[in-house]
């Protein structure tokens, strides 16, 4: 492929600019990734426990009021 074709190929400018921008990114370190992952897991567990308790409570309430 000649340089002329590469320059005119649709999207090549975008890909070159995207590659240059990715080189400028400050990527997180291992510890930051570990703590972020831990926060997501703990938050997910807390929300799932909350929703499970809420579901059990509402199920119990509907059963109580539907019998009556």
Q: At a CB cut-off of 8 Å and minimum separation 6, what does 36 contact? A: 28
When divided into structural domains, the chain yields a total of: 1
Question: Could you give the percent of the chain with pLDDT greater than 90?
Answer: 72
- What is the value of pTM for the model shown? 0.63
Residue 2 has pLDDT above 70, yes or no: no
Q: Are 28 and 36 in contact (CB under 8 A)?
A: yes
Q: What's the pLDDT at 10?
A: 76
Q: In terms of residue numbers, what domain contains 60?
A: 3-67
pLDDT confidence bin for 35, thresholds 50/70/90: very high
How far is 33 from 39, CA to CA, in rounded Å?
10
Across the chain, mean pLDDT equals 89
């Amino acid at each position: 492929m000649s340089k002329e074709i590469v320059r005119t190929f649709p999207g090549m400018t975008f890909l070159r600019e995207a590659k240059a921008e990715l080189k400028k990114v400050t990527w997180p370190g291992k510890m930051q990734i570990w703590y972020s992952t831990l926060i997501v897991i703990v938050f997910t567990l807390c929300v799932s426990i909350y929703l499970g308790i809420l579901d059990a409570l509402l199920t119990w309430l509907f059963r109580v009021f539907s019998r009556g």
